[in-house]
Chain A
Amino acid sequence: MFLAIKEMKHEKLRYGLIVALILLVSYLLIILTGLSTGLANLNKAAINEWGAKTIILDKDSQGRLAQSYLSAQTLQTTKGSKISQYNSLVTSTGDLKENAQIIALSKQSFIYRNLKATTGKKFTSKNTALVADKFKKDGFKIGSKIKIANSNVELRIVGFTPRATLSVAPVIYTSFETIKPLNNGVVNAVVTSEKHQFQDAPSNGLVLSINQFINKLPGYSAQKLTFNFMIGFLYIIIFIVISIFLYILTTQKLPNFGVLKAQGVPTTYLVMNTLAQSFIMSVIGVFLAIVFGLLTSWFLPSEVPIVISTMNIVLTSVGIIIMSLLGSLIPIRQIAQVDPYKIIGG
């Protein structure tokens, strides 16, 4: 550490520039990871709140809730909480508009029990609704009337619930009776809180685990894959940046390393010095990136779905530090191979 720290203190500009590069790439990584998590949450947050393990859909639905219409026969042979889904634009008297996912539930279902009302209460009667917090942020209030577009159905908000988004739209929870004029009483799926035995699937049913169902949400997998690709590429960039810069710096220092080796400084000491530099630079870069990332998420408008969670920070930090250490392996090879005799000359 002695050599590593002394050199970095002396060569502030050089090492500062590398830290700045790590900072910028890490910042981008943290923001992208935050956006990836945020968008994923927008797609699936409501499902996570249900506390469900398995979902049974129509076998021809391709795993899509909106495309699933369970037959009476299937419903008779399937145990669990029935849900109906309807996607529509909703408006309020105050001209507030929102695209929403309307989910109908029975008050006896485990999903209903698992839902939490942060303000107000859960729906109890026809034409009342427990709606996503987002409605509150957008100006809706308890008692606000919301009208379902292209219908005569009008709901009264009785409560707000957190983390209620499905396929990027806020969710409105209401009763089957309320939704019946909209979807003719179709039940789209049955959800269970226990792991369903797949061999017990009804003849026309498609049994999916909740994770499988989430992966089949429209656009979810493609979006996740795109983000993962970008994130993976940024890790590779960090690896290359560290490799190139440390390689250049090490090449410039080879005469010094040669002399130090001639004087009996073990190769392991010099290798540890380079690893320490890589570690220190990545820790400083990552720390600053986290601070800037958190500040950015703080100042970004609420419409930007960014979630910088502790888990994301820890995983990203560890990932960047590992890539930085891997990036220093090429320069380390140079150090190991430097022949003091060739540096001193003959």
Chain B
Amino acid sequence: MSNLRFSSVTKIFGHDTSKYVALDQVNFEAENGQLVVVIGPSGSGKTTFLTIAGGLQSPTSGNVTISGNNMTSLAKKEQTKLRLNKIGFVLQSYNLVPFLTVKEQFELVTKVKKNNLSDQSLYQLLDDLDIRSLVNKYPNELSGGQKQRVAIARALFTDPEYILADEPTAALDTERSMAVMSLLKDLAHKHDKMIIVVTHDMRLKELADKVYQIIDGKMSVYEG
């Protein structure tokens, strides 16, 4: 079984007087088949946690392992390959390429991966997220919520093992937020994916299998 583990991970930015501890001795664990929500206020270190989990930056100290393999020891190229093949990112903003239509956003993924992912699975995904009618639209023709759903669909399209989502429901109303979270939970349970969502939205913890709380870089299991 795959898992993601943070062991005493610390991330410090700057030096001396400008030193800022973004993550402080963080211990975290998630497994396939789980929807894990990390809740914290703005500036608590949520995105730093997510970018380290996705191999976008390295911790100052501590270890990050994916299925027992030390992620920090991977070369940059291997980290990129890992992100392309095994990790799906859903980010707060800038998620979509502005000059590609919704359909082309998915075509780009197939071009880069050099895979012929089926149209059938794409349209199923678009139907699940209620965005099929948007396939020929450009990002600037979409509402914030529609953009976010397209970004989620794109992250799911490649069938990654892990999905790392940064405020995936930030631009959605309650009904759509819950629908997206239900979809993510289904994916985690039925398709054995590991899904980690960082958010400040306390409502999302209701659907999570495991909830962590992060405040001022310190993480703990939420026991609300």
Contact = CB atoms under 8 A, between A and B. Distances in A.
A binds B: yes
Nearest to A255: B94
B94 A6 contact: no
Nearest to A258: B94
Contacts of A10: 98-100, 138
Interface string A139-178: 0000000000000000000000000000000000000000
B56 A341 contact: yes
Contact of B91 (A9, A259, A264, A339): A259
B84 A259 contact: no
A11 B99 contact: yes
B216 interface: no
Contacts of A263: 83-84, 88-89, 109, 155
Nearest to B109: A263
Contacts of A261: 80
Contact of A6 (B91, B95, B100, B109): B100
A103 to B, nearest CB: 65
Contacts of A269: 112
B56 A264 contact: no
A79 to B, nearest CB: 71
A82 B94 CA distance: 80
A111 to B, nearest CB: 64
Name A's interface SS: helix
A265 B94 contact: no
A345 interface: yes
A62 interface: no
B47 A345 contact: yes
Contact of A2 (B45, B51, B91, B108): B108
A265 B45 CA distance: 25
B94 to A, nearest CB: 5
A265 B56 contact: no
Contact of B94 (A11, A256, A339, A346): A256
B80 A264 contact: yes
A259 B94 contact: yes
Contacts of B7: none
A343 B94 contact: yes
Given A262-B89, A341-B56, A344-B91, A6 B99 contact: yes
Contacts of B56: 262, 340-341, 344
Contacts of B48: 346
A339 B13 CA distance: 15
Nearest to A261: B80
A66 interface: no
A266 interface: yes
Contacts of B81: 264, 266
Give the bracket for the number of chain A residues in contact with chain B: 20 to 34
B104 interface: yes
Interface string B63-90: 0000000000000010011111101110
A253 to B, nearest CB: 9
A255 B56 CA distance: 14
Nearest to B86: A264
B111 interface: yes
B33 interface: no
Q: Identify which of A6, A267, A339 gathers the most chain B CB atoms within 10 Å of its CB.
A: A6
A262 B83 contact: yes
Interface in A247-261: 255-256, 258-261
Interface in A1-39: 2-3, 6-7, 9-11
Contacts of B109: 263
B159 interface: no
B57 interface: yes
Interface string B181-211: 0000000000000000000000000000000
A127 B62 CA distance: 102
Interface of B: 13, 22, 45, 47-48, 51, 54, 56-57, 77, 80-85, 87-89, 91, 94-95, 97-100, 104, 107-109, 111-112, 138, 155, 166
Among all A-B residue pairs, the 5 with the closest Cβ atoms: A264-B84, A264-B83, A10-B99, A346-B48, A341-B56
Given A262-B54, A262-B89, A263-B88, 13 more contacts: A2-B107, A10-B100, A256-B94, A259-B94, A259-B95, A262-B51, A264-B81, A264-B84, A265-B80, A266-B77, A266-B112, A341-B57, A344-B166
